[in-house]
């Protein structure tokens, strides 16, 4: 099997859950050069990257990976535990490819492993660039860009009131927990927003005017515009303003928690 050369400019997508990260990945990976699969949640586990390859390999072989949920930078729910680490790994590469990566003498760190793992997936799909989308990626922007200096991070920003409505109505969040999650995700992105390798896409712009905003994003990524890359009819605006259907008490909570931050971000309050 050939040596797997690392992708030069990998892409990471993140943001608060229910902000539209899945939609953005779907549009972006419809491009002929960008590949992305289901969420892996592998970049927001700091303890993992202090681990040697032999230990990581033994855990991979024995499926003893769930322990890394303990160090997830932000829990998906407050009931304990985060998104499952590498839960969808079998959907990316066959076992023989994974064993080849582990055996590669150039693969000396866990960072090297993921670089080759996602690159192999992209190459098998005839694409040049890998893209990993997990909302919690927003909590490890600086670390990702340290590991991949030529990488690119895309943050998806959505009106926090709509995010809370979605998290509460579709994922069973307690409102105050949903509010806290949005605020921490926004603050995490803002710590790195001045970095030229970080780009922010607003959900509202994406669903209202998908083509021009995807054109801007692709231009920033250095990729050519492909007018037939995605079907605009699959993009819907129905969820914009869903918070308006929440009860008055919830709306007062949202106002107290979010008005200053929403104003700062340019949202109408």
Three-state DSSP at 70 gives helix
More confident call, 164 vs 7? 164
For the chain, which residues make up each domain, given as ranges? 11-46+119-265
Residue 47: partners with Cβ closer than 8 Å, 6 or more residues away: 68, 70, 71
Q: 41 — phi, psi (to 5°)? A: 50, 50
Q: What is the pLDDT of residue 167?
A: 93
Q: Is the pLDDT of residue 72 over 70?
A: no
Structural tokens at position 64 = 């003893």
pTM of the model: 0.92
The CATH code belonging to domain 11-46+119-265 is: 3.40.50.300
Spatial distance between the Cα atoms of 100 and 80, rounded to a whole number of angstroms: 35
Residue whose pair of structure tokens reads 């303003």 in the numeric block: 241
Spatial distance between the Cα atoms of 234 and 26, rounded to a whole number of angstroms: 10
More confident call, 68 vs 94? 94
The DSSP-derived string for 95-164 is HHHHHHHHH-TT--SHHHHHHHHHHHHHHHTT-SEEEEE-GGGGGGHHHHHHH-TT-EEEEEE--HHHHH
Spatial distance between the Cα atoms of 153 and 199, rounded to a whole number of angstroms: 6
pLDDT digits (tens, 9 = 90+) for 30-60: 999 999 999 988 888 777 778 899 988 988 8
Mean pLDDT rounded to a whole number for the chain? 89
pLDDT digits (tens, 9 = 90+) for 122-166: 999 999 999 999 999 999 999 999 999 999 999 999 999 999 999
Q: Is 39 exposed, middle or buried (0-12, 13-18, 19+ CB in 10 A)?
A: buried
């Amino acid at each position: 099997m050939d040596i797997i050369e690392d992708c030069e400019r990998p892409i990471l997508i993140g943001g608060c859950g229910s902000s539209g990260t899945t939609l953005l990945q779907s549009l972006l990976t419809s491009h002929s050069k960008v590949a992305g699969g289901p969420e892996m949640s592998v970049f927001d586990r700091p303890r993992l990257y202090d681990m040697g390859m032999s230990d990581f390999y033994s855990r991979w072989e024995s499926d003893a990976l769930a322990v890394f949920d303990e160090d997830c930078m932000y829990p998906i729910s407050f009931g304990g535990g985060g998104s499952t680490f590498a839960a969808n790994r079998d959907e990316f590469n066959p076992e023989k490819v994974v064993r080849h990566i582990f055996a590669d003498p150039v693969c000396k760190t866990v960072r090297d492993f993921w670089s080759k793992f996602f690159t192999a997936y992209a190459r098998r799909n005839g694409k040049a660039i890998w893209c990993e989308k997990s909302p919690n990626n927003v909590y490890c922007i600086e670390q990702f860009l340290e590991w991949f200096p030529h990488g690119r991070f895309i943050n998806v920003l959505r009106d926090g009131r709509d995010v809370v409505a979605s998290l509460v109505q579709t994922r069973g969040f307690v409102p105050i927990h949903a509010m806290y999650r949005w605020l921490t995700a926004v603050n995490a992105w803002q710590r790195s927003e001045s970095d030229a390798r970080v780009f922010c896409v607003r959900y509202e712009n994406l669903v209202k005017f998908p083509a021009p905003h995807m054109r801007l994003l692709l231009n920033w990524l250095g990729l050519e515009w492909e007018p037939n890359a995605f079907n605009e009819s699959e993009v819907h605006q129905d969820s914009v303003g869903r918070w308006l259907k929440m009860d008055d008490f919830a709306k007062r909570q949202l106002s107290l928690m979010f008005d200053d931050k929403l104003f700062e971000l340019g949202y109408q309050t």
